[in-house]
Structure 1
């Protein structure tokens, strides 16, 4: 039924107008649903969450007789320095705020839109042992609080509302290959995992792995609902089959690919140490949270992604390779 206002020349018109607008807004919410209103406000839809208890456990590939079984971890902190920006110098070099969402960084302290190999190589680092590599991923936010960047690029201005969370733990780990020995990564090698536009574009590059502490073998592309006392986690696995030639490629993916499910690398590629970053967050039970994303991705969990640029010295990389190939557990220091 149409809502009829008094004539604009009438005093009653100006009394009735705000009431009418309010009724129209309420009718709009009733028509399109609270879920649509929440998504417009930067809150993911309910169907983007899943109870971790319902997620099927995954199995690691069986290790062959020549597998490289060691691990090499690097302590790079949890971004206690607050190094964040809305740049992505790997994907959008030279474009300030080109990511349209905010990234967390550990490792290299200078990473920004204008970074170059030379500038990164001259910068300081948060990593033990002097590793100047840069490791970064979109921030996670709790949605029941207002962020300090509610009106700035990468934050609320791009639909990413909420208070940024600092991870309670960040594990940077390099692992071996299930079928054989690994070779060293070249300096300035660029790696990308995940697809930041996967919510709107069909993609074979989805690598989001959400989970809960205490459930190390359960991963989902949806936000995981964790039981009481368990922490939400993100596991970011990077590709590890290098073509032996390039440190980058158009699209940033073909020079280093993911191995097959059994660990075998594609033809004409060589296994390099496989980088895994595991993030955990301390949140009160039931606290709503969401990852930053491009505005049109509506903070869909399937868009989780991360970047890495290797700036380890050749000696440190050789040490890492020896450790992994010899089946030892090592820490940088």
Structure 2
């Protein structure tokens, strides 16, 4: 994609998601209404018209600085693509032909070690700051995404687990987040959320709901046994404070079709994390070992913005030596570790968008920093002085 067109294309891609979400809401609200052609004439037809206009804007934006892509208008039309409520989709397991399959799982004991230790320089910041925020025992779930689709109900089209801030949804604002209580024992009001993992061999309570089974995310939600949230330092120097309300998305929920550019999935098993990390496969763990999802967020910040049009450009990963690019500052590196006792493969899968095959590579995590300035200063002091606290 031409750099000059990126912002406009990203805005229109988000609009496509909102248009589809609105059509999904109408499908749910009007179930059983109208005649045999009601869905096509009242919902899918108008949706195709809106999508066609949006796709045309994408084509024009790209054409201003490169050759216009052809054939994109063929992507405008949508169909239901779902089995009728109460029926079972075709394919393997409850996820139907939308994945995953047995080929998406690998015996971790047969994977060659692929983890390399990061080298630190003499000036590295070696401390750590931990927020203990529970495992979402309260069952805070929704299919919103306040970062990517603010103001849009079901903007994620898949269900999220939440810890930290006690009320995060499509209506959240900086003001509402800062007014909420938190599940974190140290007063950290930040919002930490990720797509749920499901036992696809069992029926979930949201089997016919948007974000859940109505959009291909079928199965019983699995609660992690532990959630570890830690902020770490830079291997090459000191870190500076994150700004309050900084928003970061790590990984790509559409990496199966977008490619691996923004993918940042890490799957492993307890006892193997320092040896093997998987990106595009789910692990089959040996007896006594549990599945682990881990995330290391971007830790270089542009020094001025708390978000960006593509929700990525204001933050970045350091280079292979641990250095931030010119103009970027090292901030505490947020890492998260989720541990699960899962059913036997291939009976578990991460929630995702339709068409992404519930592939392991689509795993991602979202974060809104709502720490008070005082708590953030404490975290930075711990990290830069080599202490471990939280």
Q: Does TM-score exceed 0.5, indicating one fold?
A: yes
1:41 Cα deviation from its structure 2 partner: 5.0
In structure 1, the partner of 2:220 is 163
1:284 Cα deviation from its structure 2 partner: 4.8
Query: Could you report, residue by residue, the CA deviation over 1:68-103 in whole angstroms, capped at 9, with x for unpaired residues?
Result: 011111100000010000000100111101111000
In structure 1, the partner of 2:339 is 280
Of 278, 283, 289, the match for 1:220: 278
Q: Distance in 2 between matches of 1:80 and 1:116?
A: 24
Is 1:256 the counterpart of 2:321 in the alignment? no
Residue 313 and residue 245 in structure 1: after superposition, are their counterparts in 2 closer, same or farther (change >3 A)?
Answer: same
Unaligned stretches of 5+ residues in structure 2: 1-89
Of 266, 275, 297, the match for 1:209: 266
User: 1:192, 1:253 within 8 Å by CA — same for their partners in 2?
Assistant: yes
Q: Distance in 2 between matches of 1:180 and 1:299?
A: 38
Of 40, 60, 80, the match for 2:137: 80
Q: Distance in 2 between matches of 1:300 and 1:181?
A: 37
In structure 2, the partner of 1:6 is none
In structure 2, the partner of 1:47 is 103
Residue 261 and residue 149 in structure 1: after superposition, are their counterparts in 2 closer, same or farther (change >3 A)?
Answer: same
1:203 Cα deviation from its structure 2 partner: 3.6
Is 1:235 the counterpart of 2:294 in the alignment? yes
Q: Distance in 2 between matches of 1:55 and 1:153?
A: 40
Q: Which secondary structure state, in structure 1, belongs to the residue aligned with residue 338 of structure 2?
A: strand
User: 2:95, 2:200 within 8 Å by CA — same for their partners in 1?
Assistant: no
User: 1:228, 1:285 within 8 Å by CA — same for their partners in 2?
Assistant: no
Of 312, 318, 325, the match for 2:377: 318
User: 1:193, 1:207 within 8 Å by CA — same for their partners in 2?
Assistant: yes
Q: Distance in 1 between matches of 2:112 and 2:146?
A: 35
User: 2:245, 2:306 within 8 Å by CA — same for their partners in 1?
Assistant: yes
The within-5 A match list for 1:118-129 is 118-129=175-186
The within-5 A match list for 1:171-210 is 171-210=228-267
Q: Which secondary structure state, in structure 1, belongs to the residue aligned with residue 150 of structure 2?
A: coil
1:46 Cα deviation from its structure 2 partner: 2.2
Q: Which secondary structure state, in structure 2, belongs to the residue aligned with residue 322 of structure 1?
A: helix
Unaligned stretches of 5+ residues in structure 1: 1-32
Residue 102 and residue 65 in structure 1: after superposition, are their counterparts in 2 closer, same or farther (change >3 A)?
Answer: same
In structure 2, the partner of 1:23 is none
1:267 Cα deviation from its structure 2 partner: 1.2
Q: Distance in 2 between matches of 1:320 and 1:143?
A: 39
In structure 2, the partner of 1:69 is 126
In structure 1, the partner of 2:191 is 134
TM-score relative to the length of structure 1: 0.86
The within-5 A match list for 1:74-153 is 74-153=131-210
1:43 Cα deviation from its structure 2 partner: 3.9
1:128 Cα deviation from its structure 2 partner: 1.2
- Choose between structure 1 and 2 for higher RCO, CA contacts under 8 A separated by at least 6 residues: 1
Q: Distance in 2 between matches of 1:83 and 1:77?
A: 12
In structure 1, the partner of 2:326 is 267
In structure 1, the partner of 2:358 is 299
Q: Distance in 1 between matches of 2:337 and 2:205?
A: 26
Query: Could you report, residue by residue, the CA deviation over 1:97-129 in whole angstroms, capped at 9, with x for unpaired residues?
Result: 111100000001110011100110111110112
Residue 97 and residue 154 in structure 1: after superposition, are their counterparts in 2 closer, same or farther (change >3 A)?
Answer: same
Residue 200 and residue 286 in structure 1: after superposition, are their counterparts in 2 closer, same or farther (change >3 A)?
Answer: closer
TM-score relative to the length of structure 2: 0.74
Q: Distance in 1 between matches of 2:163 and 2:303?
A: 27
1:202 Cα deviation from its structure 2 partner: 2.3
